Amino acid sequence: MTTNIHRERVQSLRAVMQSHQIDALIIPSADPHISEYLPIYWQGREWVSGFTGSVGTLVITQDFAGLWTDARYWVQAPIQLEGTGIELKKMTQGHPTFGKFLAENLPSGATVAIDGAVLSVSESTTLSEIFKDKNIKLATESDLLQSVWHERPALPDSPIYPHGELFIDESATAKFAKVRAKMSELGADHHLISSLDDIAWLTNLRGSDVSFNPVFLSHLLISQDCATLFVHQNKLNDAAKAVLLAAGVQIDDYDNVSKALSMLSGVLLIDPAKVSVGTLKEIGGLSVVHATNPSTVFKAVKTTSALTHIRQAMRQDGAALCEFFSEFEKRIKESVATSELDIADMLTEARSKQPHYVSASFDTIAGFQGNGAIVHYKATQAYHANIKGSGLLLIDSGAQYYNGTTDITRMAGVGDISDDEKRDVTFVLKAHIALAMAVYPVGILSAEIDVLARNQLWQQGLDYGHGTGHGVGYFLNVHEGPQVISRTAPVLPERTLQLGMVTSNEPGLYREGKWGVRLENLVATIPAHSTEYGEFAKFEDLTLCPFDTRLILPELLTAQEKDWLNNYHQKVHDELLDLVDGDAKAWLIERTQAI
């Protein structure tokens, strides 16, 4: 597909806008469930612009087109937008949001269109507030993409199935009871959930409507004495129906949720960041209370049983990574032609041999040399590098197993690695270790510990544009909240670190056009100690894979940092030794030697 096609699609939308007397069109990266990763049917922003990142909002007027995205994509976006006529707009402090940009540049009384089916209640409120001083109308009644996207894919129709009795840590009935108790605290008679990970967790069902995320398209309406799952019913097998029946959940068609809401009275609880205005278009006499979905907080705190399963999934993943890295290094040593595309295939081959493997948990990021500086880089047939010569290779990958979700980033060296490259790897490792060694009060705001990692880089005048950590689901989405370790994330009371949470630790450093560095483990929040000053927690490293010590400058590490690294490698050695053999075992033993 050429960039001329994307320019033509923008022009086609402008013609439709003119016929509807629309001054500006907003196309967000969202669906009716306000998901991060979307079924193809709702990937309209990508279809129009050609930009493939997971975060981005496209704005089109008659004389302007711009894409707003965050720092992860500031290298990637200009490449993909070249020739489209679409301008990159950076989402960062000091730059206007797309809403403020429109308010500043549109005339008073203008009309801005956005499909209400994919507009969250909270974003609608924000835009309406921004637009009110200039009397700008926010039109949410229609989806203008339908007029130009003639070959739009159908909605996904994948089967829905039970998670599996062996891996279920808590019954759906118990989970519903916890949510209903919270509803009572908030004075709610009913609770609408549209976020797919919450629904999958509550019902103990899984699907594959979204690539890499084991979720299914649905809405869930909970009342104190009943619950209804709105879903395409042909997707439910008998086992899934039995799970719902046992939990007292009725089944209705996916498209009937708005009609069902119109027939209710009383107080409705919603998460305004996770429900669309289109879904709420017929709420009749219901009064609405806003709060984070109770299930979001509940599922973030893994049970003892879930953590046991997750630890085993990490061992399986670690064994697969030993096989992958030993094979990768052998190929490089023997000059076997290897590209960035081959990395994903090799990882899938190694992981698929492990028990309970389902799929990758996201598109593998394998960036060699300058491609590693593109934070969410994805190699394609049209654009990828061959791994030859000398340079750093950043590999960010993960898997879905029935017993856990994994996410890991490691660096590999090819050929001669310069001291400048090793210096960057070492300082990112120091940042990683600083966070890994943290002790903090239970319930601390997760954003408050971001500085522990960044300080190691700030001291050198270095930094990175993305967050340091995100929550991870239990055979669910690889990105889940509410916790997020990021100094730029909005401070919300539920974004605390609680015992049982699983979070990533992934500082980075990026030299545009040269190399990128990121080192990531998943960690669990576990008890540290209890004193008269309160309860304190620490991180347990769940991920099991060596850091390549050939890529660091040991003289830059303190004695404490060396101890941490050696202890971590001893743990990796002990946990994985009996799970690997042959070249993989030899690789494990060599890479876990103390420094």
**Res. 558 pLDDT band, cuts 50 70 90:** very high
CB atoms within 10 A of CB 261: 20
What CA–CA distance (Å, rounded) separates 489 from 188? 28
Confidence of residue 502 (pLDDT cuts 50, 70, 90): very high
* 259-287: pLDDT as tens digits: 999 999 999 999 999 999 999 998 878 99
Task: Quickly state the pLDDT bin for 3 (edges 50, 70, 90).
Answer: low
Q: Is the peptide bond before 482 cis (omega within 30 degrees of 0)?
A: yes
pLDDT tens-digit series, residues 234-255: 999 999 999 999 999 999 999 9
pLDDT at 68 over 50: yes
pLDDT at 1: 44
Supply the pLDDT for residue 489.
86
- Please determine, for residue 377, whether its predicted confidence score (pLDDT) is greater than 80: yes
Q: Cα–Cα distances in Å, from 433 out to 437, 454, 561?
A: 6, 11, 7
pLDDT, position 4: 86
Q: What is the reported pLDDT for 451?
A: 97
Least confident window among 281-285, 416-420, 465-469? 281-285
Share of the chain above pLDDT 70, in %: 99
If you average pLDDT over residues 63-72, what whole number do you get? 90
Q: What is residue 74's predicted lDDT score, i.e. its pLDDT? A: 85
Segment (H or E) for 574: helix 559-576
- Burial (CB < 10 A; 0-12, 13-18, 19+), residue 52, is middle
Q: Helix H segments across 162-223?
A: 172-185, 196-203
Give the pLDDT score at 92. Answer: 81
Label residue 391 left, alpha or beta by phi (over 0 means left) and psi (-120 to 50 means alpha).
left
What mean pLDDT is reported for the chain?
95
User: Is the predicted pLDDT of residue 316 greater than 60, yes or no?
Assistant: yes
- Alpha helix locations (H) across 204-272? 238-246, 257-262
Distances (CA, A) of 200 to 161, 213, 270: 10, 10, 17
Residue-level length of the chain? 595
Residue 110 phi/psi, 5-degree rounding, is: -70, 165
Residue % of the chain over a pLDDT of 90? 90
For the chain, the maximum distance between any two Cα atoms, rounded to a whole number of angstroms, is: 71
Lowest mean pLDDT among 185-189, 193-197, 284-288, 526-530: 284-288
Q: How buried is 561 (Cβ within 10 angstroms: 0-12 exposed, 13-18 middle, 19+ buried)?
A: buried
d(CA 286, CA 161): 33
Sequence-ordered alpha helix ranges (H) in 233-381: 238-246, 257-262, 294-300, 304-333, 340-351
Beta-bridge partner residues of 469:
485
- Cite the DSSP H helix spans in 401-481: 419-436, 450-458
Model pTM?
Answer: 0.93
Mean pLDDT of 308-334: 98
Each residue of 21-34: pLDDT tens digit? 999 999 999 999 99
Rg for the chain, CA atoms, rounded: 24
Q: What mean pLDDT is predicted for residues 95-116? A: 94
